[in-house]
Amino acid sequence: MSPDTPADVVTPALLRNHTQDLEAAALDAPEALKRVWSGLCLARLLGLRLALADQTWHRRQGNAASVEHQLARDLGTTATFADTALRLPDDDAPPPLAGDEVDEAVAALVGFSTTARRRMLAAAPLATQWHDERVLRHDSKVIGELGEAWRGNRAGYRVDRR
């Protein structure tokens, strides 16, 4: 998946399948970073759809967006993405999730965050490039905050867009 993926094709099941692939595959550091990035793009699009469900999810999506932007910025500093300009998907009025998909979406977002964190920590010792290892180790904590944002466990985050 990429930033150009249409939001209407992103469902909780799609993110859940991506998460299962992330967990099951044996990945080196660059491949782990690439899969985390594609999962982050999916999570962003799903979160934008979830935000339309009600005001609570809208607030949580604002917190999640701060974490997403930090991750995109940090992933862009890796050796893996040295020649790639990373940009998150736009928030151009995605279609809302159906009411019965809300709980499934939250579970998929939290599950992705948890799995990505574990995968990043597992891939960090395999990195041959220092910049990849640094981001895998440090941002494993940051991606964990994505799940916390969707759980509502943090009052707010700051966007650092330089």
| pLDDT band, very low/low/confident/very high, at 131 (cuts 50, 70, 90) | very high
Would you say residue 128 lies in a domain? yes
CA distance 23 to 101: 23
Residue 8 confidence (pLDDT): 67
Show the tokens assigned to 121: 């920590």
Would you say residue 159 lies in a domain? no
Q: How many domains does the chain have?
A: 1
pLDDT tens readout for residues 9-66: 799 999 999 999 999 988 999 999 999 999 999 999 999 999 999 888 999 999 999 9
- Provide the domain limits for residue 34: 7-151
Please give the model's pTM, rounded to 2 decimal places.
Answer: 0.91
Please say whether the beta carbons of 161 and 69 come within 8 A. yes
Would you say residue 156 lies in a domain? no
Would you say residue 1 lies in a domain? no
Q: What is the CATH number of the domain that holds 73?
A: 1.20.1260
CA distance 118 to 146: 13
As a whole number, the mean pLDDT across the chain is 90
CB atoms within 10 A of CB 109: 28
Would you say residue 11 lies in a domain? yes
Would you say residue 57 lies in a domain? yes
Would you say residue 157 lies in a domain? no
Q: Closest by alpha carbon to 146, among 100, 115, 123?
A: 115
SS3 of 9, please? Answer: helix
